[in-house]
């Protein structure tokens, strides 16, 4: 069963990475951050919990890996 748990964790991570890479590619995040900085903003809302979106997207944005990965993308 331990092998199954490892395999499921790998698949979960692979699915998250695939989703994140697609999301980051389609958001124009770098351009949005530069534009916000030019306007004097020190922060930016990437995900609004009040927004009506499907359960899948909401779950991905609320995943603890999302913020860590986003920080890594911005700082690299």
pLDDT given for residue 7 in this prediction: 94
List, for residues 33-61, the tens digit of each pLDDT value: 889 999 999 887 877 666 777 888 889 99
CA distance linking residue 52 with residue 46, whole number of Å: 14
Return the domain boundaries, the chain: 2-75
The pTM for the full model equals 0.77
Q: Is 27 helix (H, G, I), strand (E, B) or coil?
A: helix
The two tokens of residue 9 are 């964790």
Vertex 8, ends 2 and 12: CA angle to 5°? Answer: 145
In angstroms, the Cα distances linking 25 to 19, 21, 30, 41, 55 are 10, 6, 10, 22, 21
pLDDT given for residue 49 in this prediction: 67
């Amino acid at each position: 069963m331990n092998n199954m748990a490892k395999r499921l964790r790998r698949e979960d991570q692979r699915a998250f990475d695939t989703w994140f890479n697609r999301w980051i590619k389609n958001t124009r995040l770098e351009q949005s951050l530069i534009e916000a900085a030019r306007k004097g903003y020190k922060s930016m809302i990437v995900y609004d919990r009040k927004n009506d979106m499907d359960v899948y997207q909401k779950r991905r944005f609320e995943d603890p890996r999302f913020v860590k990965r986003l920080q890594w993308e911005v700082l690299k």
